Amino acid sequence: MSTFESDRGIAIRMNPANTSQSVTTTYTFVSTSNYTAFDIDDIEYKPDDMQHEMVSIVGHIGIDTVLPRLYSLSGSVDIQGNSAIGTSDSSVGFDESILVIFDEAIDGFSVIQSNVDNSSSNPGTSKIYIGRSIGVYTGECGISNSLILPCTDELLLNDTLISDSIYQARYTLESNAEIVPNSNVSFKAGSSILLYENFEVKENTTFALILEGCN
């Protein structure tokens, strides 16, 4: 296991041939954050190598735990509660990425990286990047609308609660989510924004739809 930091965030490496190995990376904040967001990239699935990665995320407030909301960004991952499992076959690039949001107060969080299924038959480098696109954002509820989330080709926000932020896609954004009360939310997409049945905006919320691309 090794780590390093660059302009692409913090990379966490582990041995893909050891399915029993897991690596836990813990961030501890100087002060409590009421709104925390960050991205995790490169959650890989390589069936030819039998390499299959999973990450789980949990927040901490004192001795209690807080679970985040997860969104699939570029690439493809399977979201299962507070865990994400790689589902696409990619050998290059920064894809299979997720957005992690805590909209409850936390003192820090942990990311647990592990292997799924069988050991790799052709071990290479197994790593994830934390904070490659937006870093680790911490702030106060009510001003977190200044957080502009990463631009992806398409964005799907379904069956979840969302709050303050600008959600954006180059082409299409689709959602049946619920926007929580007292939020400031914008959906921004270059081609289309599709709101499905059960999409709901709660009281005292500012909600904007913007047909404009992103970079």
pLDDT band at 120 (very low <50, low <70, confident <90, very high): low
Give the pLDDT score at 110: 96
What is 22-72 written as a DSSP string? Answer: EEEEEEEEEEEESEEEEEEE---EETTTTEEEEEEEEEEETTEEE--EEEE
The pTM assigned to this predicted structure is: 0.68
Model pLDDT for residues 152-193, shown as the tens digit of each residue: 888 888 777 777 788 888 899 999 888 878 788 889 999 999
Q: Which of 38-42, 77-81, 133-137 has the lowest mean pLDDT?
A: 133-137
pLDDT at 4: 40
* pLDDT one-digit tens code per residue, 137-151: 787 644 444 567 778
Query: CA-CA distance, 171 to 91, in Å (whole number)?
Result: 25
20 vs 120: which has the higher pLDDT: 20
Percentage of the chain lying above the pLDDT 90 cut: 23
Domains, the chain, in order of start with CATH, read 2-139 (2.60.120), 144-211 (no CATH)
The Cα–Cα gap between 67 and 69 comes to 7
* pLDDT tens figures, 74-110: 667 888 899 998 876 655 444 678 888 898 899 999 9
User: For residue range 43-57, what is the model confidence (pLDDT) as tens digits?
Assistant: 877 766 667 788 999
